[in-house]
Chains A and B, each alone.
Chain A
Amino acid sequence: MIARDIPFTHAPEDADGEAQPSAGLGPYRLALRRLRRNHVALGFAGLFLLILICCLCAPLYASAIAHTGPNAEHLTQTINVGGRTVDVVSLQGIPIGPTWHSRFLLGADSNGEDVAVRLLYGGRTSIIIGGTATLITMVLGVAAGVVAGYFRGMVDGILSRVLDLIWSYPVVLLGVALGTVLALTGLHIGPVVLKGTSLMVPACIIGFVFIPYVAKPIRGQVLSLREKEFVDAARSLAAGHLRVMVSEILPNLSSTIVVFVPLMIANAILLEAGLSFVGAGVQPPNPSWGNMISDGLQYISTTPGLVLAPAIMLVLAVLGINVFGEGVRDALDPRAQIRIEH
């Protein structure tokens, strides 16, 4: 009877010989083991990695296979498809559909640009922005959450009010507002000057918009962590505030941070696509899945591929990382409730 109440410590005595997690395994080992058993999550992670690698190879595809750049227009040119000579964009203004050949594999858009090349470059844009934005969100969100939760009082009051303020804008609207303003003037942070068309402008905007969604749950966790004995112990050994925050509290937040990262990447990519779709994200001529869909929408009745190709890539990439993220969350902390708005 006692053995059933505390099964883990008595695992070696189990008669059926089933592999039980022994007491010596750390939480990350256990999580990794659970994740490795989750084949669906791993499969979708593979899908995302595949898209990632393809998109990072965009310049290679453009120069070696398609022989054109993402912004090179071929409006008046003709190409040879299966022995016939065809206009890239017909006289009626209808662009060529998928040729399934090395040039214009997925057809051309209304400017006579190669859709396949733009698709890969657009993915590169999305992933660069998603990654940078996630980095910004995580660093600033965790810093704000830890400082607010650790110091409490005035510091917490001010930080929490500011975070609440950012949080009370609808995400898309705040992104749109910042995107519109910064697309006109660019961004000047101290010595760093970003032009309005720079990819880092939407990355900074998206990174900024999501900060409260990370900082709030982190703050809540720090509020309870700072009362734990190990923090008292560190203080009694004369550890300063910075040391307690960085080497005592931060390691205890690692599983929350790990759970947040894939979720944030997925949401950053989605928001980037949405902002680019309305014209407040990636500025032309840079391709992005969002502005490709927006450009293709007016041709949807004649050449639906212009919308469907970037739409499919976008959904697959986001779905891949979302399912993987869900697997990571289940593996690390099945009861965590983290939710991010769109």
Chain B
Amino acid sequence: MGRFIVRRLFSMLVVLFLLSVLTFLIFQVIPNGNPALRLAGRTATPQTIAAISRTWGFDQPIWTQYLITMHKIFTGSVISYNQQLNVFSQIKAGLPATLSLAIGAGIIWLFFGVLLGLLSALRAGKFVDRVLAILALGGISTPSFVIGAVLLYLLAYRTNVFPNTGYVSITDPLGWFYHLLLPWITLAILFIGLYSRVLRSNILDTINDDYVRTAKAKGLSRRRVIVRHVLRNSLIPVVSLFGLDFAGVLGGGTILVETVFNLNGVGQYAQQSIAALDVPPVLVITMLGGFAVVIFAALVDIVYAVLDPRIRLAS
């Protein structure tokens, strides 16, 4: 067990390192031309370009440039060139909104994904199953910003049921909930569609297994067989999906929803920086987003190995 955790953490560190190199390459090296010109954005004066070249060390060998970039990122001293603000304090300011959005949406999509997946598996081939299949495909095919825009139009502008847009701090719990409910639903719909389909096919795969027949044969009630035996095993892949998807949402998946609902989180900060072609914030957010996914993936694997010895042995 201990060896597995150490090995997994070590490989996580290697991937984190490679990820930082790749992000560095994307932003500083791969595109042709003067990287200082790119960091300076659209409205650059020769002075800023010269200053950027010096502070980011673009006149030095490439591995020194990498070290300088990493040093700047991990000491939190990256400055955006359009607004002259510290990128880290901006990210920190946006974090509560992004976390609230991701966690709330995660709870909603896990709950409804499991509920609808179970329902369509138990009614496989029947009317309910077909309706749910169509709804799931609709959810998968509709981008989140379209769902958000339509909900906003119908429920906030036409009928005023929900507030316009914006984020309210959790210190006002009621306002927080009220302002986040539409964004939560918007973000959750895609995943509800995906999870219900995945769970449905998992349940249908396990429902004919020998141990389920054994459970039935020893006289357990249908509910007990489904909940204790079928669902418990079918949920394993769903839980691992959830870990990775949640990390993906946290590490960048909220950009679109935050922009539609004007939540002023990290994602919207990224979007505003893109619109202004202000590169330093995008560089930092990309790297941190990638890091979030890699760290979460490692945590999921470890939690898994603790819960399910088969995985530990297989690797």
Do A and B pair up? The answer is yes
Q: Which residues of A contact B (CB under 8 A)?
A: 161, 164-166, 168-174, 176-188, 266, 270, 273-274, 277-280, 293-294, 297, 300-301, 304, 307-308, 311, 314-315, 318-319, 322-323, 326, 337, 339, 341-342
**B180 interface residue (CB < 8 Å to A):** no
Residues of B bordering A, CB below 8 Å: 15, 18-19, 22-23, 26-27, 30-33, 38, 41-42, 137-138, 140-143, 145-146, 149-150, 152-153, 157, 190, 194, 198, 201, 245, 247-249, 251-253, 255-256, 259-260, 270-271, 273-275, 277, 279, 282-283, 285-286, 289-290, 293-294, 297
A165, A277, A311, A314: the one contacting B15 at CB < 8 Å is A165
A residues less than 8 Å from B140 (CB atoms): 322
Bound Cα distance A170, B292 (Å): 10
B297 to chain A, nearest CB (A): 7
Q: How far is the CA of A319 from the CA of B145 in the complex (A)?
A: 16
A-B CB contact pairs (8 Å), 6 listed:
A170-B248, A181-B279, A185-B32, A278-B274, A293-B146, A301-B153
Whether A319 pairs with B33 at a CB distance below 8 angstroms is no
Picked from A173, A178, A278, A341, the residue with its CB within 8 Å of the CB of B245 is: A341
Smallest CB gap from A302: residue in B? B157
Report whether A172 and B255 are in contact in the complex, using a CB–CB cutoff of 8 Å.
yes
Main secondary structure of the interface of A (DSSP, over half): helix
Flag if B274 contacts A270 (CB, 8 Å).
no
Contacts of B15 in A (CB 8 A): 164-165, 168
Contact among B32, B150, B198, B290 with A173 in the assembled complex (CB-CB below 8 Å): B290
Q: How far is the CA of A220 from the CA of B144 in the complex (A)?
A: 32
B274/A180 in contact, CB under 8 A: yes
**Provided the pairs A177-B286, A297-B260, A304-B153 are in contact, do residues A182 and B31 lie with their beta carbons within 8 angstroms?**
yes
If A180-B282, A307-B153, A342-B190 touch, whether A323 touches B260 (CB-CB below 8 Å) is: no
Q: How far apart are the CA atoms of A188 and B33 in the complex, in Å? A: 10
Report the bound CA distance from A34 to B137 in whole Å.
20
Q: How far is the CB of B193 from chain A (nearest CB, A)?
A: 10
Q: Looking at the complex, which one of A173, A323, A342 makes contact with B251 (CB distance below 8 Å)?
A: A173
Known: A176-B282, A274-B145, A311-B149. A188 touches B32 (CB 8 A): yes
Residues of A with C-beta under 8 A to B248 = 170-171, 341
Establish whether residues A173 and B22, one from each chain, have CB atoms under 8 Å apart when the complex forms: no
A29 and B280 CA atoms in complex are apart in Å by 54
| Shortest Cβ distance from B133 into A: residue | A326
Q: Is the CB of A185 within 8 A of B27?
A: no
Contact B18 A161 (CB under 8 A): yes
Bound: A158/B163 CA distance, A = 51
The answer on a CB contact under 8 Å between B274 and A314 is no
Beta-carbon nearest neighbor of B190 in chain A: A342
- Contact check: which of A181, A277, A294, A319 meets B137 at CB < 8 Å? A319
Given the complex, which residues of B lie within 8 Å of A293, measured CB to CB? 145-146, 149
The minimal Cβ–Cβ distance linking B262 to chain A, given in whole angstroms, is: 10
B289 touches A169 (CB 8 A): yes
Q: Is the beta-carbon distance between A326 and B137 smaller than 8 angstroms?
A: yes
The 6 A-B residue pairs with the shortest CB-CB distance, nearest first, are: A173-B252, A170-B252, A319-B141, A177-B286, A170-B248, A185-B31
Task: Find out whether the CB atom of B141 lies under 8 angstroms from the CB atom of A322.
Answer: yes
Q: Is the CB of A319 within 8 A of B271?
A: no
Give every chain B residue within 8 A of A181 (Cβ-Cβ). 26-27, 30-31, 38, 279
For B149, list chain A residues within 8 Å (CB). Answer: 293, 297, 300, 307, 311
Q: Which residue of A lies closest to B21 (CB)?
A: A165
Task: Say how far B105's CB is from chain A's closest CB, in angstroms.
Answer: 13
B279: chain A residues within 8 A (beta carbon): 180-181, 184
Contact across chains for A278 and B27 when beta carbons are under 8 A apart: no
